[in-house]
Amino acid sequence: MRRVLLLPTLIVAGLAAAALALVAVTSRSATREVAARIQQVRRANALAFRMAHLSAEEERDVLAYRVERSPAARERMAAVESGVNAVVAQMSELQLPPRGRELWSAALAARAVQERERRALVAALDAGSGGASVDYVRWQLATGRAGPLVADLTVFNLRRLERAVSELERVRSRSVALLFAVLAASGALVVAFSLVVDRWLVRPVRAMTDAARRIASERVAIPVPGGHRRDELGVLARAMTRTADDLVRANAELARSVAARDEFLSIASHELKTPLTALKLQLQLGQRREGGPGAPWLASAVRQVDRVGALVAELLDLARIRAGRLTLEPRPVDLAELAAGVAERLSDVLERSGNALAVDAPAPVGASCDPARIEQVLANLLVNASRHAPGARVSMRVFREADRAVVVVEDEGPGIPPDALERVFDAYEKGDRAGQEQGLGLGLYIVRQIVEAHGGTIRAGAGRSGGAAFRVELPQAAVAGAEGAAGTSAAARAP
């Protein structure tokens, strides 16, 4: 896998680097060559111009000397001669191409004839010879033969310069073409690499993701695609397949364990309920025989039996809920009246824990519910308040909001931490009093299940005084004396 990712990158980088290096070397070499040529051409042209200038100067000097044989003219001719010799020496150092050498050799040959005839003419003039006129004609014939050859050499050099520039342009064009070719090749390689990556990485990862989703949703053990591969993706696919198998197996074992536990709880609750009922009847019979609550141990025994009975009831409810056997018998109920009844029934419990309960249910509020179960819900919320906020004021408000019947139970206790608001409805959740609590932590869980089984909702939040507040909403139903939409202002303040 690493090779698949690394190799093309290295190839592209290597190609680009090689192309750039090649272009740089080629351009540099061509530039140097052209620069050298230009330098040669400049020198050759400068020397050619110098030669032409010296020839013209000499021609003037000879004509002047023919008129007046002055020493100054002789000195100038000598200076021209040494100047020409210097030009010849410098030109011989240049590397001229064959055609340039031919032109220069022809120019030098013509120049040599001209020089020879000049000397002969000067000698004849110095001697006052009558043959000077023939020498003059010869010098005239020889003069100017080198001029066109020097001009040809100059133009030839310029042609070379043009060709060098053209070559440089060709090198530049070739370099640009090479660069484009490398870029195109790199682009093609990148595209091919992308296709390879798509085929070898992206598609398998997508398939593995789909398989993982299916395993998660259907809880089935299916082989994750790519297990046959020998690379890291193959290792991952095989690991995912094994993990999925383990998870599915563990999930099945867990489900079996939960089912066994629920079945045990159901059986145990049923088995405990009958002897507990019998025990409580016998204890109550004992109390009646003694004509009152009886001995303190008898009253304590009755309370303990009630408590165990409540725990058994919770376990039975839990078993029913988990088994989907929670049955409801909904009917229109006046929730205000029902709440008042629950408050009255639990007044001694609240009184023992020092709670002052205020019920605010001024008008009938119709709700469609199983009254026994909703009584269980409200009782549970009040008992919950007495446990978590002993000695605090507790209020229970019943009102209507839009098409819902609402009950809010609120205390002025320490309240529920924000991060625990949702968690309090989980099974076996005891909040921050875990260890001190004597219950199973199933109360609010059962409350939520009952409310939601009615099509209602329950939410926990902060009350007006900062304590805990539980808001129960149930489907509305018409009952005698209930009004349309009342108590909305109260609802706005509820959690």
Partner 1 sequence: MRGCRAGRWLIAALALAACAPQRREKLVLGTVHLPALGLVYVAQARGYFAAHGLDVEQRRFAAGRDAVAALGAGRIDAATAFETPVVLRAARDPSLRVLTTIHVASANTRLVARADRGISTPSDLAGKRVGVPRNTNAEYFLDLLLAWGGLSQRDVRLVEVDPGNAAGALGSGEVDAVAIWAPRSQEARRVAGPRGAVEMTSEVYTELSLLVTRQPVLAARRGAFVKLVAALADAERLVRERPGEAFAALRAGFADVSEADLAEAWAAVRPTLGLTHQLAAALEDESRWFRAAGRVEGAPLDVGALLEPDVLAEVDPEAVTFVPPPRRAGKE
Site residues for partner 1 per CB under 8 A: 98-99, 102-103, 106, 109, 113, 131, 133-134, 137-138, 141-142, 144-145, 147-149, 151-153, 155-156, 159-160, 162-163
Give the nearer residue to partner 1 in terms of CB position, either 31 or 166. 166
Q: Which of 307, 287, 306, 304 is nearest to 295 (CA)?
A: 287
The residue type at 179: L
**Minimum distance from residue 112 beta carbon to partner 1 (Å):** 9
75-112: burial string, b at 16+ Cβ within 10 Å, e else: ebbeebeebbeebbeebeebebeeebeebbebbbebbe
Tell me how far, at minimum, the Cβ of 142 lies from partner 1, in Å.
5
Output the smallest distance, CB 69 to partner 1, in A. 22
* Cα end-to-end span (Å), the chain: 56
Q: Measured between alpha carbons, how far is 77 from 114 in angstroms, rounded to an integer?
A: 13
Distance CA 360, CA 421 (A): 24
In the numeric block, the tokens 């509020």 are attached to: 365
| Shortest reach from residue 161's CB to partner 1, in Å | 11
Among 347, 296, 493, 346, which residue's Cα sits nearest to residue 410? Answer: 493
Q: How many CB atoms lie within 10 A of CB 320?
A: 17
Report in angstroms how near the CB of residue 117 gets to partner 1 at its nearest: 9
* Comparison of 140 and 457: residue with beta carbon closer to partner 1: 140
| Closer of 10 and 155 to partner 1 (Cβ) | 155
Task: Give dist(CA 433, CA 435) in Å, integer.
Answer: 6
Show Cβ contacts of residue 72 under 8 Å, excluding neighbours closer than 6 positions: none
Nearer to partner 1 among residue 149 and residue 208 (C-beta): 149
Residues 6+ apart with CB under 8 A from 182: 15, 16, 19
Put the strands of the sheet holding 457-462 in their side by side order. 356-360, 393-401, 404-411, 468-475, 457-462
CB of 135 to partner 1, least distance (A): 9
Which whole-number Å values give the CA distances from 441 to 210, 315, 433, in the listed order? 39, 11, 10
Q: Least separation, in Å, of the C-beta of 155 and partner 1?
A: 4
**Strand 457-462 to 468-475 pairing:** antiparallel
Measured from the CB atom, the residue of 136 and 193 that comes closer to partner 1 is 136
Phi, psi angle pair for 334, to nearest 5°: -85, 105
Q: Which is nearer to partner 1, 103 or 406 (CB)?
A: 103
- Which residue number, 142 or 460, has a Cβ lying nearer to partner 1? 142
**Residue-by-residue DSSP string for 349-373:** HHHHTTPEEEEE--S--EEEE-HHH
Min dist CB 212 to partner 1, Å, is 58
CB of 150 to partner 1, least distance (A): 9
**Residue 19 or 110 having the CB closest to partner 1:** 110
If phi > 0 it is left, if psi is from -120 to 50 it is alpha, else beta; for residue 291 that is left
Question: Which pairs with CB-CB distance under 8 Å and at least 24 residues apart come from 22-26?
Answer: 22/178, 23/175, 23/178, 23/179, 26/171, 26/174, 26/175
Beta carbon nearer to partner 1, 6 or 112: 112
Q: How far apart are CB 30 and partner 1 at their closest, in Å?
A: 19
Residue 215: closest CA among 177, 246, 259, 255: 246
Minimal distance, residue 125 CB to partner 1, in Å: 16
Pairing of strands 356-360, 457-462: unpaired
Q: Give dist(CA 410, CA 397) in Å, integer.
A: 8
Q: Which is nearer to partner 1, 103 or 338 (CB)?
A: 103
Which is closer to partner 1, CB of 7 or CB of 141? 141
CB of 141 to partner 1, least distance (A): 4
Region of 93 (left: φ > 0; alpha: ψ -120 to 50; beta: rest) is alpha
Closest approach of partner 1 to the CB of residue 76, in Å: 24
- Nearer Cβ to partner 1 (137/295): 137
Q: Pick the closer one to partner 1 by CB: 164 or 458.
A: 164
